Amino acid sequence: MELAGKVAIITGASSGVGAALAHQLAAQGTRVVVNYCRSKEGAEQVCAAITAAGGAAVAVQGDVGIESDCVRIVQAALDHFGQLDVLVNNAGTTTFVPHHELDLLTEDIWLQTLRVNLMGAFFMSRLAVEPMKASGGAIVMTSSIASITSNGSSIAYCASKAGLNSLTRTLAKSLGKYGIRVNAVLPGLIDGDWAYETWGGGDDSQYAGLKKMFEDQTPLGHVVTPEDVAEVIMSLVTGSDYVTGQLVTIDSGFTL
């Protein structure tokens, strides 16, 4: 896909992978809807930087776990830019619950995790179909290696991302007749703001130890960054028109 003049929605784009992707898409001439749920300041900073560089972007608030918010996000893209060509379902949430603590994994945690990570991706994708039908389009899911391993922040998180992998493949099969491709990226640990905020970012922090463990156990000796993940998403959008239903792992070989 040639990106100049196209329009993309990125959910959860106020920081991390979403923000990095917004900058990369805008640099190629794509007009970007930067969705956020709570981080208004971060989303507006992303848009301001894109605008300052000569691009076009708009910040749109919305919780993808709420279907009516998804409707509003897609409508905002059409109202501002008149079309939709790329959707990246990047928004995600988790609650840390040790896997052996089954009683701590409450119904509320399950519902919130599934609504944002799985149902939100379905709502957004379903809404994207109609505006993409005219000329085809690309949908990319941000999944996780937790979807294919027994490790992750909670059992609910692992299950939601495994469901997202299945959704990727079933939507790819369903939407191919419209020329809409659906793929997913499966990052491992991401060396970015979320990790620093979760585990602390100093040299002696819990995150420093976690990062070293990942580096030591990966063939390539590298913990991926938001920019690394964004580049893989870009490759799925701009690459072959005949790649669909694929789950692309980006973890420097950690899961090998």
Q: Which residues are catalytic?
A: 157
CA separation for the pair 236, 230 (Å, rounded): 10
CB 190 within 8 A of CB 12: no
The number of angstroms, rounded, from the C-alpha of 251 to the middle of its chain's C-alpha atoms is: 15
Please calculate the CA angle 104-109-111 and round it to the nearest 5 degrees: 140
Distance of CA 154 to the CA centre of its chain: 18
Q: How buried is residue 117: exposed, middle or buried, by Cβ count under 10 Å (0-12/13-18/19+)?
A: buried
Using CA atoms, how far residue 162 sits from 102, 165, 251, in Å, is: 19, 5, 17
How far out from the chain centre does Cα 11 lie? 7
Q: Which one-letter amino acid corresponds to residue 251?
A: D
Q: How far apart are CA 63 and CA 11, in angstroms?
A: 9
Three-state DSSP at 13 gives coil
**Percent of the chain that is helix, strand, coil (3-state, to 5):** 50, 15, 35
